[in-house]
Structure 1
């Protein structure tokens, strides 16, 4: 395994958002996100997780960087954990960084996702080898589409049956960073 790119010395931030590493205290955020009907379909967090499952999920996030998978961050506003965002490096050999994010239902529609995208995008451009940043969003997810566009991302194309979500191959809209 090659050495992963270094963790940022200064936490990425934009507007009211600061991105930080996962901590044991983020179990409550995992429990909250696990109650959302969509979030467990798009990642490794189980739906309606037990405390143990939430703790295990947080521990997995804490190992992702050392494994070379990417940079998982907790989105915070005034020190409160409100969501997650990650820069994933599975296509770094092609020069591509991939973003994914989720915001707790209680903190949506406040510009958090837009600020988090701006924060991680600024950081992503500093990661050696990243020449393009991609983000895939389901066409029905208007809030996420708006957040990406407000963060400066532009829609590139529709990717038919691109990603399996909840056991179904779903169309995704590919967005790219400016």
Structure 2
């Protein structure tokens, strides 16, 4: 196979298994899960989930997740439960890949929270990310009040490094964020 050195290698989304979840590509039948997430008070504010809960908006979101591979933005997975039904989303974002870093972001639909899906998805993603030679550090950012999210990160092995004051604009307001990291190598 001849590889053009000036052309980036296409990313491929793997299928990843956790204990109770599977990380897989988004499918059109995941639209109802996106529609539920769009009605959450926070998810559309801090993610690219649309505030419009129409099926068309949900399908457009799904298409954007597939495009992330083509643009090398990162890997966007649907988090599926033991019945292969989508319960959330997790991503490995490559904005700082050239510095050996990637960030992790995740959310769980409101009706599926408090079942350990987030921590299991983070474990599965981290296990796979360790195989990516270009990465040595994973980061994630969580608002201090979001105890469920930062506890899931800690259960998955991330360590809190500190508080970033006024770090990110959320809903038009600059918010503090805890920064977490996990060294992969």
Whether TM exceeds 0.5 here: the answer is yes
The yes-or-no answer on 1:20 pairing with 2:24 is yes
**Structure 2 residue ranges without an equivalent (≥5):** 1-6
Per the alignment, in what secondary structure is the counterpart of residue 175 of structure 1? Answer: strand
What pairs with 1:37-52 in structure 2 (closer than 5 Å)? 37-52=41-56
State the TM-score, normalizing by the size of structure 2.
0.90
Per-residue CA distance 1:85-112 (angstroms, 9 max, x = gap): 0000011011111000000111111111
What pairs with 1:24-173 in structure 2 (closer than 5 Å)? 24-78=28-82, 79-173=84-178
User: Which one has a bigger Cα radius of gyration?
Assistant: 2
Q: Give aligned pairs, total.
A: 176
State the TM-score, normalizing by the size of structure 1.
0.94
Q: Check the 8 A contact 1:5/1:128 in 2, yes or no.
A: no
Per-residue CA distance 1:146-174 (angstroms, 9 max, x = gap): 11111111101111111111111111100
**Structure 1 residue ranges without an equivalent (≥5):** none
What's the Cα RMSD here?
1.3
Structure 2 CA distance, aligned partners of 1:56 and 1:35? 16
